[in-house]
Structure 1
């Protein structure tokens, strides 16, 4: 049995850097809010081949409230979020995962923090559940575009190296490689589906690709989705496109990415009433 609740009131923690020194012109103050999106309880009865289980989950939305600063990606480590209910009960373990997926309906939503507590539910008499702690995020204010490289789309396993200047969290350059291929099928009338990917050994603020024909003319394409992955110390980001017209054996590809990265620790302090009422406390962030 699964129960899901949407909050009746908005709740957030404001994240902002201190302003610039007096007498100096400062850019818009960066700010991020973390708000409750919903919570769930799950009760699974024992079956012939499964054990009984119970769990509690919360989803927290990360929103950008500054037009100058954006979230590049979630921190790789350092998330410290703890749950407790009004009766003082806490889970032995809280799993925390940040998803970088953006909302196409609400462009200011940068991602979602998923919390789950295996083998724990709030106490029967609990009136509320509170989550407190910090979540690392990497932000940027300057998007950049790499140089264009030639990608051979019809050569199997072909890849081309590329350097993204100032793309590292430490301000250094990041070496990546690009790959691309066409899906099977398609024709000059219906168009062709193609996939372009970028691979890196370190996290980076990937934004998008720019595609051009070999003579430099912008390609007319439709975006058909995106993907991202991680395994050990390998990261990848991909885009799916539908291209109209004649199939191009080679494409010129540039990468849009974030530069001038800064890591911040976002304070989270949210109290969720189990009847849907929520409270909020504001705490300034810390730059890491």
Structure 2
């Protein structure tokens, strides 16, 4: 069935792999078992296979594997099975563990595999709530959401949307993807982060204006990226209008210096209308259905 969740198991321990396969085979999942990190990378990069959640046994190959996935911009829900020798340590330090892949990962004790389905649900739920900046576990500094590399952000948003649609069909989830974390809101981040965010959004908007009337098919992607960053940071509409007006004024001054008319800039009212329409749609979808008729 199209709505069945696809679970990929990369378990180097044969007995654990057998146990997990046996447990999950009784659930409504589609199971794929791989035996090497390269096989997993090939599967992840295949256009014929879509993985909804990874289940990985932590061994010496895990860190290099996560590095490769991270560097190519691939983010997926993941449950990391902890070796039995580390179980007691994990129980003591579960609240202070360092992320191996991203901040929505879930750790599972090898001694509690019977609860793997709960960990899968938690991993997927946390991934759907993952704000773009939360994926940056290897960055030397804490960056605001808008500063995530575009390739990684695009994959994250695409994967979240696809997974949310599958869950909506299978489990009746609605609007999970659009739940935001207030600690990443513009008003709640530091002054330095606010300045960096506005600077980045301004450059993103400049790119949209310069390409808006071209035949480039990437313009929709540029708009989606800008709107998603603004949405997750809860940027005020007035701030987006301010970015638009400042850029239009900058372009107007440049045209005057070049002795050219700036009347062409009137056409770019369509740009801000397009942006605000997209943003308004995201806000509409983020409102719980029961509140739409209040």
Q: Which has the higher helix share?
A: 2
Q: TM-score, normalised by structure 2?
A: 0.23
Q: Which has the higher strand share?
A: 1
Q: TM-score, normalised by structure 1?
A: 0.24
